[in-house]
Amino acid sequence: MITYELIKKKRDGLELSRAEIAFLVDGYVDGRIPDYQMAAFLMAVYFRGMSNRECLDLTMCMLESGERIDLSPVAGFKVDKHSTGGVGDTTTLVLAPLVAACGGTVAKMTGRELGHTGGTVDKLESIPGMQMEMSKEKFIQIANNVHVSLMAQTASLAPADKKIYALRNVTATVESIPLIASSIMSKKLAAGADGIVLDVKTGAGSFTQRYEDAIDLARTMVNIGQNAGKKMVALITGMEQPLGYAIGNAVEIREAVDTLDGDGPPDLLDLVLELGSHMLMMSAMAPSLSAARKILQNNIDNKNALQKLGEFIQAQGGDPGIIRDPRLLPQPLEQIEIRSERSGYVEKLDALEVGMTAKILGAGRDTKDEGIDPSIGILLKKKIGDRVEKGDCLAVFHSDGNPEKIVPARQRFRAACTVSHRKVDPPRLFYARLSEDAIEEFGA
C-alpha cells in the first residue's frame, strides 16, 4: 500500500478498508509514516468523515496497538462509565462507590485533566496516600474484594491513540466526531468492561457544544461499542453551567462525600441516580429504571454508599478518615469571597469560563508535566436562576494567595457570571437517551 494513495482516497470521500486503516495506524506508530502524512489523513477525515464501519475499524486498530485489560478474573458483570468532560463533573467519585454498594462492580480506568475539564485521577490523588497507578493484578484484586476499583490509564493502553491525539491537538483536527469517538472507545474497550454507560455533554462547558454534535458523537460511540460486543447506553446531558457547586480537586472530593452522606447538590445527585440506574439495569441488578433508582437512593440513605467509598479509599492506600474529617484533605492558604455588585438573579454562569477560572487559580495544568495544587478550586454559592442581593457571595476561591493568579481569575469569573433583573430557569440537565438504534428525547 502507498500512504499517498490512502490520503487521496479519504480526501475524495471514499471508504477505506480495515487493512488500509490498519496500514496507516501501524505505520504511524512504528515510524514508517511521518507526522505530515498522518496530519494530512486526519484533516481528510475531519472534512470527509467516516462511515460506521470505518469508525469501528479505526477504533479496533488503535485498541490492538497496545495491551488489553482482561477482567475475566473479576466475578460478575463489570460496568464502566465515561463522561466526555465538563466542569465540576464530580460524578464518578459519587457514582462508582454507590453502584458498588448496590451490588454492581465498577472496574474503571480513568484519566487526568484535559483542557478545561478536571480529571478523576487528579481529584482522587488529593486524598492523602491515594494510589491511582497500580499493577493490573492489584486493580483486579480490589475490584473483586471491594467491587469498585479505579486506576490511571496506562501508557500501554491504546498507544496509537495517544500518539494520534497529540498530533490532532496541534493540527486543528480535535473536533472530529469519528476521531473523538474512536479515541474514547479504543481506551474504553481496551479497559475490559462488559458494559459502558456514556455521559455525553452538550452546552458551553462541553467539547460538543451543539446538541446535534452530541447526538452524533453518542450514536457513533454506541454503535462502536455494540459492534465490539458490549452493552451500551448513552445519555446526553447539559453542561451550560458547572455541575454541582465544587470545581477543583479536594473541593470535589468533599462534595462527593457530602453527596453520599445525603447532602449533595440536587443536579449532581439527579445525574448520579440516572446514570447509576442504567448501570444497575445493565448489570441485571434491578428489573426497571425506577426500581434501580430506589435501590440507589436507599444505599445513600442507609450510608452503605458512604461506607463503600471509605472501603475503596482504604483499599487503594488512601486515608478514609477524610470522610469524617474533611480537614485531612489539602487546605487552601486563603479563601476569597467573590461578592455580587448588584441585586437580581443569576442569568448566566458560563461553565467553560468558570472552568478556566479554576485553572488560572492553579487547579489545572498549563503543561502536561506540571503539578497541580489539590487545595485550589472554586466553591460556587449561587447558580443560574438563584436570587442574589448586592453584596451576596457568588463564589469562594480556594487560593494559594498569589495575586498574579487571583486578579485575572476574579476578572474571568465576573465575566462568566451575569446577574440581571431577569429571572431565568436553570438550564436543562437531561436531553436524550440512546441505546441500540433508538433515541429517546426528554421534554424541556
* Amino acid type, 258: D
Q: What is the DSSP letter of 15?
A: P
> 10 Å Cβ neighbour count for 86?
30
The Cα–Cα gap between 353 and 351 comes to 6
- Of these residues, 78, 162, 187, 410, which one is catalytic? 187
- Cell numbers 468533599 correspond to what residue? 254
Q: Is the dihedral of CA 200, 204, 206, 207 positive or negative?
A: positive
The Cα–Cα gap between 238 and 24 comes to 36
> Could you please report the per-residue DSSP string of 271-295?
HHHHHHHHHHHHTTS-SSHHHHHHH
Contact yes or no for 351/205 (Cβ under 8 A): yes
The Cα–Cα gap between 273 and 339 comes to 33
Instruction: Report residue 423: phi and psi, to 5°.
Output: -85, 130
206 is catalytic: no
> Could you please report the per-residue DSSP string of 340-406?
-SS-EEEEEE-HHHHHHHHIIIIIS-SSTT----TT-EEEES--TT-EE-TT-EEEEEEE---HHHH
Q: In what order do the strands lie in the sheet with 195-202?
A: 148-152, 105-110, 78-83, 195-202, 231-238, 430-435, 438-441
- Of these residues, 57, 80, 122, 161, which one is catalytic? 161
- Of these residues, 65, 126, 183, 399, which one is catalytic? 183
342 is catalytic: no
213 is catalytic: no
The Cα–Cα gap between 217 and 208 comes to 8
182 is catalytic: no
The Cα–Cα gap between 317 and 329 comes to 14
290 is catalytic: no
Catalytic annotation, residues: 82, 161, 168, 183, 187
